[in-house]
Structure 1
C-alpha cells in the first residue's frame, strides 16, 4: 500500500502529482511513518521474539502502562477489539499475560504481564535499540530530540482531539 501523494485522475495522463505543503505534508509523512514502521518492528523485534505485531504491541502497552483492559488496549493500539481478544488469548496460553488484580468490575477484565511476560518485555528493549540505531543512523542527536518534542506535542493534541 502506497501513501505517496495521489495522482490526478487517469483522464489527465500528463498531470503532475499533487505537492502537499504545510500541515498536510506533515500529516502525510506521519501516515507514511505509521504505515512503514511496521516492517522494521515486525522483522527486527516481533518475529525474533516469537511474537506477531499485535502481540508485540500488547506486550509493549502492558509493559509500559501496566494493567489494562482489552478495550483500553484496543483504543491505545487502534486495533479492533476482536483482534486484541484473540491475541490476549494466545498470550495467556503462552503464559505471558494473566488476569489483573482489579477484578471488582465484572465487565472490565484487565490483564497484566506475568513474570515471563515481564522478561519478554525486557527483551524488547535491546531489539528496539537495534532497530532504532539502524533507522536513526545519520540523524543528529539534536534532530532526534526535536523529533521527540514534536511527537510528544502531537500525541498530546491527539489526546484532546475533538473532531
Structure 2
C-alpha cells in the first residue's frame, strides 16, 4: 500500500468527480459551497446576534417560506429532528416564533416568526450585506444577475425534489 502511494498511485476522489463536466461535478461544487458558507455565516451573523447556526437556519427558512412544521424543517434543511426541535424550543423561549393552526391537519404544528422574530430577522441586514459584499463582491452585475437566475432555478428544482419525495412537506411560498 505504501509503495503504490509513493509511486503516485494515490487517487484524489474529489478531483475524479470534478473531472466530469456534467451534473455530478456541479453538484459537488454546490455541496462544497454549502459547506464553505457555514463559517462566514457563523462568525459574521450568528455570533454578533448570539444565535446558534441551527436557529438562524430556522429563522431564515420561516422568513422565506412562511409557517412550517418541525418535520417540514427537518426535510427541507436535511437536519436531525432533535436539532430542529431544539432550535424551535430556543426560538420560542426567546419569543421569536409562535405556533399557528393548520386548519387542514390539526395534528400538524406549524410555527412562524412572531413580530419580534420578524424584527430580529431584519437586524441581520448589515451583517448579511457585509458578508455578501465580501463573498460575492468579485462578481460583475451581469454575473450576479446570471447567478441569481441559475440559483433560483436550482432552488425551484430542489423544492420540487423535496415535495415529490416528502409529500407531507408543505412549503409556504
**TM-score where L is the length of structure 2:** 0.79
Task: Show structure 2 runs of 5+ residues with no match.
Answer: 166-173
1:159–1:64 Cα change, 3 Å: closer
> How many residues get paired?
155
In structure 2, distance between residues paired with 1:22 and 1:42: 32
Range 138-147 or range 50-59, more displaced = 138-147
Alpha-carbon separation, structure 2, partners of 1:125 and 1:62? 16
Q: Does 2:85 match 1:85? A: yes
Task: Give TM-score scaled by structure 1 length.
Answer: 0.84
Q: 1:147 to 1:10 in 2, by over 3 A?
A: farther
* Distance in 1 (alpha carbons) for counterparts of 2:148 and 2:104: 38
CA distance in 2, matches of 1:10, 1:44: 43
Give the gaps of 5 or more residues in structure 1: 1-8
CA RMSD of aligned residues (A): 2.2
| Aligned match for 1:12, one of 4, 17, 24 | 4
**Of Structure 1 and Structure 2, which has the larger fraction of its residues in helix?**
2
Greater RCO structure (CA 8 Å; 6+ sep)? 2
Alignment check: 8 A CA contact 2:54 2:84 kept: yes
